[in-house]
């Protein structure tokens, strides 16, 4: 599977000025690009509506809707959608096909949230299990805890006979060996990495979300990113909306990124505005400004959806009864001077 790479990692901010056209917002507003002007209103869909990160979110969205239409609930649907991405061993960012940690073994992070009941479950740094999102769901449903990590999470999964898999795929092992050699020669490059975050609004008005990743390639073993952190890589508030993140987790989790997107929606912003406002907030505090590789998707209680990312933005996928497609988000590289530049940020 060819995953379009994000061009903005390590690229010059000066080269990226205005927000690129967002397919979701055919005439993109200028609030995110640093110029004065109004954004087009966010598109909305009659639920069920599903939104997820990256083009590989499209088959996951389709699977989510398929499961929902078969009569299952929203929680089953988002879990199965994310499992679809986890099962694809050609995806270097999600599941056991992912890029390993520095010790050559894949460590997976995942979480799940149910709007009804405001329930959450999460696992991090899990080795050797195919479907961390399902382990996270069992943590949510069978324990009084929210998060299990490492050996404890693996023991929990083993006791419940979760499906095990290879520590690393042969292809990723070969790449890791080459990386080790390059590292000795001090020429090693850190490969790109992504995450699936997937959000769903059901016709009954309930929101669900799930998130799964193999995290930062060749990370220090035990490193946990934003994806399994409730409020970081994922947040669902059944009264307002849901948000999810992808990018460099360290730049999301220090700001409770997904939580902040939802809070901005609570204040009345549309999903795209809330994603943009969160990026501007993060960039206003971070010494690196907009050079962060941070991206958000968001879905509100009314079925409106949107996304935004730093730099050139990123691609995300949306599916509902009428269509299933991949869209380009707006990107931001500088502080806005329009309505989003005010003190609401
Ligand atoms: C992490 N946020 O572990 C994840 C990885 C990712 O685009 O989404 N990369 O930091």
Would the pLDDT of 342 be above 80? no
Q: What is the pLDDT of residue 25?
A: 34
pLDDT over 60 (residue 214): yes
Residue 91: its pLDDT value, please?
95
What is the arithmetic mean of pLDDT over 79-94? 97
Is pLDDT larger for residue 227 or for residue 37? Answer: 227
Specify burial of residue 45 (Cβ count, 10 A radius: 0-12, 13-18, 19+).
buried
pLDDT of 13 > 80? The answer is: no
Q: 């080459």: which residue's tokens?
A: 178
Q: Which domains can be identified in the chain, with CATH numbers? A: 6-18+44-340 (3.60.20.30)
The minimum-distance atom of ligand 1 relative to the CA of 197 is: 8
Ligand 1, atom 2: closest residue by C-alpha? 249
Could you tell me which residue, 98 or 345, shows the higher pLDDT?
Answer: 98
Which pLDDT band holds residue 5 (cuts at 50, 70, 90)?
very low
At residue 222 the predicted structure's pLDDT band, cuts being 50, 70 and 90, is very high
Instruction: Kindly indicate the confidence band of residue 230, based on its pLDDT and cuts at 50, 70 and 90.
Output: very high
The predicted structure's pLDDT at residue 183:
85
Calpha distance 21→58 (Å, rounded): 20
| Residue 50, both tokens | 């599903």
* Ligand 1 neighbourhood includes 68 CB (under 6 angstroms): no
Q: Is the pLDDT score of 63 beyond 50?
A: yes
Pocket of ligand 1 contains residue 225 by CB under 6 Å: yes
What stretch of H or E contains 257?
Answer: helix 257-266
Name the closest-CA residue to atom 3, ligand 1: 215
In what helix (H) or strand (E) does residue 247 lie, and over which residues does it extend? strand 241-247
Active site residues: 195
Question: What is the predicted pLDDT for the residue at 339?
Answer: 56
pLDDT (average), residues 104-114 = 98
At 193 the pLDDT is 79
**Backbone phi, psi, residue 196, to 5°:** -100, 120
The stretch 117-123 carries a mean pLDDT of 98
> What is the pLDDT averaged over residues 72-99?
97
Is the separation of the CB atoms in 72 and 333 below 8 Å? Answer: no
Angle made by CA atoms 86, 92, 98, in degrees to the nearest 5:
65
Better-scored residue on pLDDT, 233 or 38 = 233
Distance 345 CA to ligand 1 centre (A): 24
The token duo for 233 is: 């890589």
pTM: 0.88
Using a 6 Å cutoff on CB, does residue 212 contact ligand 1? no
3-state helix, strand, coil in the chain (%, to 5): 30, 25, 45
Return the percentage of the chain with pLDDT > 90, whole number. 80
State the pLDDT at residue 340. Answer: 54
**Mean pLDDT of the chain, nearest integer:** 88
Choose the weakest-confidence range: 19-28, 40-49, 188-197, 301-310: 19-28
| Cβ 228 under 6 angstroms from ligand 1 | no
pLDDT for residue 28 is more than 90: no
**Ligand 1 atom at shortest distance from the alpha carbon of 246:** 8
Q: Tell me, in angstroms, the distance from the centre of ligand 1 to residue 272's CA.
A: 20
Rounded to an integer, the average pLDDT of 255-271 is 98
Reading the block at residue 135, the tokens are 């382990």
> Which ligand 1 atom is the nearest neighbour of the CA of 193?
9
* pLDDT score of 99 more than 70: yes
Q: Which of 197, 199, 198, 207 is nearest to 301 (CA)?
A: 207
What is the DSSP secondary-structure string of 97-143?
A: GSPP-TTSS--EEEEEEETGGGEEEEEEEE-SBS-HHHHHHHHHHHS
Structure tokens at 154: 């693996």
Question: Which atom number of ligand 1 is nearest to the Cα of residue 223?
Answer: 3
């Amino acid at each position: 599977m060819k995953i379009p790479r994000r061009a903005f990692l390590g690229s010059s901010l000066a080269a990226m000025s205005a927000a690129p056209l967002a397919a979701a917002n055919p005439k993109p507003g200028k609030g995110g690009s640093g110029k004065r002007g109004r954004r087009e209103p966010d598109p909305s869909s009659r639920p069920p509506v599903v939104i997820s990160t990256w083009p590989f979110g499209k088959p996951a969205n389709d699977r989510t809707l398929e499961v929902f239409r078969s009569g299952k609930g929203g929680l089953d649907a988002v879990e199965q959608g994310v499992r679809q991405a986890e099962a694809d061993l050609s995806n270097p960012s999600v599941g056991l096909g992912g890029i390993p940690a520095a010790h050559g073994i894949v460590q997976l992070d995942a979480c799940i949230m149910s709007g009804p009941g405001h329930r959450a479950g999460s696992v991090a740094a899990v080795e050797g299990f195919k479907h961390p999102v399902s382990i996270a769901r069992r943590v949510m449903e069978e324990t009084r805890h929210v998060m299990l990590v490492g050996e404890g999470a693996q023991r929990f999964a083993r006791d419940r006979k979760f499906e095990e898999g290879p520590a690393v795929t042969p292809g990723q092992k070969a790449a890791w060996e080459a990386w080790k050699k390059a590292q000795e020669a001090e020429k090693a490059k850190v490969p790109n990495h992504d995450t699936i975050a997937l959000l769903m609004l059901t016709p009954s008005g309930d929101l669900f979300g799930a998130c799964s990743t193999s995290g930062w390639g060749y990370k220090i073993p035990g490193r946990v990113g934003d994806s399994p952190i409730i409020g970081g890589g994922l947040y669902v508030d059944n009264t307002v909306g849901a948000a999810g993140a992808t990018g460099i987790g360290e730049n999301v989790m220090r700001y409770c990124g997904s939580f902040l997107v939802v809070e901005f929606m609570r204040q009345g912003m549309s999903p795209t505005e809330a994603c943009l406002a969160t990026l501007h907030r993060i960039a206003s505090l971070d010494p690196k400004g907009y050079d962060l590789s941070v991206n958000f998707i968001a879905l509100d209680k009314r079925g409106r959806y949107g996304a935004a990312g730093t730099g050139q933005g990123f691609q995300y996928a949306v599916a509902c009864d009428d269509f299933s497609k991949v869209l380009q988000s707006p990107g931001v590289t500088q502080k806005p001077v329009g309505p989003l530049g005010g003190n609401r940020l």
